[in-house]
Amino acid sequence: MHAIRTGAIVWFALIAGAGVVQAVEPPESLEAAINGSLQNHPEIVAAQAKITAARAEFDKVRLHVVGQIAASWGQLKNKREEVNQLKKRVAAEKDPIRQAEIEAALVLAQGEYEQMATELHYMTQFTGGQALNNHDQPAGAEPQVPHSQVARKTLEKIVKQPVTLEAIDVSLQDLLNLIRTQNGVNITIDVAGGVSPDMTFSINVAQVSLLSALQAIEDCSGLQFVMRNYGLLVTHPHVAQDKGYVPVGKYATDYLGIDLTTLEEEQENKADGK
């Protein structure tokens, strides 16, 4: 009987001891309980691990994109320089056969430059919607073809009047003021479209049509001159495409049927005759 009582006491002691070992103190407050769970709850820990992995992937993609844009920008600058050099070679070449070969290379280089510029624009200024596939072409707005007499008279001045522009580090606003003074052509700056009147560049063209001079300004600045019913507007190429603005040269050839090549030759003959 004594042995049985002793065993019961020992068994109760073991149970009581086990209860003491397993017992834990609850959090001091609800705030402490919430803070602890936000740090140590298994689901929080698992979610935090996913965030860490996602951040690592995000940083990896960022580095890739930065490298891609830097490379594209360098290629765009090189292609622009190639276009400018080819234009100089075309102007300086006297052999008709060799000049035609250089002009063909120029057309190809200009096409490549425009494609590269468009791709860079949509990589850097994408505003939403579904991403474009490699074979998709950005959809532009319906062409806004001017039909006013102001536009036609403005174009006549552009394609017929010779001009000489020599300027170093001149602002866009000052250069356009010079064109207005010399040729009577008003050109509006698309400030709302992001064009700064204070942007500067250098240009040197002599005895060329104003259309050719505007093309030289486009090459130096990356801007584009388009026809509007009130005259000329200088804007960014992607803005012109998105809004359906018609470039000056396209307006002359496609909508008014002007042969710009023949016109340039006539002006060169007149200049040589003088």
User: What DSSP letter does each residue of 74-100 carry, written as one string?
Assistant: HHHHHHHHHHHHHHHHHHH---HHHHH
Instruction: Clarify whether residues 26 and 56 are in a common domain.
Output: no
> Which of 108, 124, 140 is the last residue before a domain boundary?
124
pLDDT band of residue 55 (cuts 50, 70, 90) is confident
Q: Is residue 137 part of a domain?
A: no
Q: What is the pLDDT of residues 64-95, one digit of tens each?
A: 887 888 888 888 888 888 888 888 888 888 88
Q: Quote the percentage of the chain above a pLDDT of 90.
A: 10
In this predicted structure, the answer to whether residue 234 has a pLDDT above a threshold of 90 is yes
Residue 233 is predicted with a pLDDT of 93
Q: Is residue 48 part of a domain?
A: yes
32-52 burial: b if 16+ Cβ within 10 Å, else e: eeeeeeeeeeeeeeeeeeeee
Q: What is the mean pLDDT of the chain?
A: 78
| Domain span holding position 242 | 149-273
Q: Is residue 132 part of a domain?
A: no
Q: Is residue 105 part of a domain?
A: yes
8 A C-beta contact, residue 209 and residue 263: yes
Q: What is the pLDDT of residues 129-188, one digit of tens each?
A: 444 344 344 455 788 888 888 888 888 888 888 888 888 889 999 999 999 888 888 899
- pLDDT (average), residues 244-265: 77
Q: Is residue 139 part of a domain?
A: no
Instruction: Clarify whether residues 216 and 108 are in a common domain.
Output: no
Distance CA 219, CA 106 (A): 13
Degrees, nearest 5: CA angle 265-245-170: 65
Instruction: Clarify whether residues 31 and 113 are in a common domain.
Output: no
What is the Cβ-side half-sphere exposure of residue 71, based on CA atoms within 13 angstroms?
6
Distance CA 69, CA 35 (A): 43
The CATH number of residue 157's host domain is 3.55.50.30
- pLDDT (average), residues 252-266: 69
Instruction: Clarify whether residues 62 and 120 are in a common domain.
Output: yes
Instruction: Clarify whether residues 49 and 72 are in a common domain.
Output: yes
Instruction: Clarify whether residues 233 and 257 are in a common domain.
Output: yes
Residue 189 is predicted with a pLDDT of 92
Task: Sort strands 224-228 and 246-247 into parallel, antiparallel or unpaired.
Answer: antiparallel
Residue 271 is predicted with a pLDDT of 53
pLDDT band of residue 273 (cuts 50, 70, 90) is low
Range with lowest mean pLDDT among 10-14, 114-118, 225-229: 10-14
8 A C-beta contact, residue 146 and residue 174: no
8 A C-beta contact, residue 86 and residue 105: yes
Q: Is residue 133 part of a domain?
A: no
Which residues share a beta bridge with 233?
188, 226
Region for 244 from its dihedrals, namely left if φ exceeds 0, alpha if ψ lies in -120 to 50, beta otherwise: left
Instruction: Clarify whether residues 47 and 113 are in a common domain.
Output: yes
Residues counted in the chain: 274
> Which of 124, 158, 193 is the last residue before a domain boundary?
124
Residue 245 is predicted with a pLDDT of 92
CA-atom Rg of the chain in angstroms: 35
Residue 25 is predicted with a pLDDT of 80
Residue 186 is predicted with a pLDDT of 87
Q: Is residue 140 part of a domain?
A: no
Q: Is residue 51 part of a domain?
A: yes
User: Domain total for the chain?
Assistant: 3
Residue 272 is predicted with a pLDDT of 56
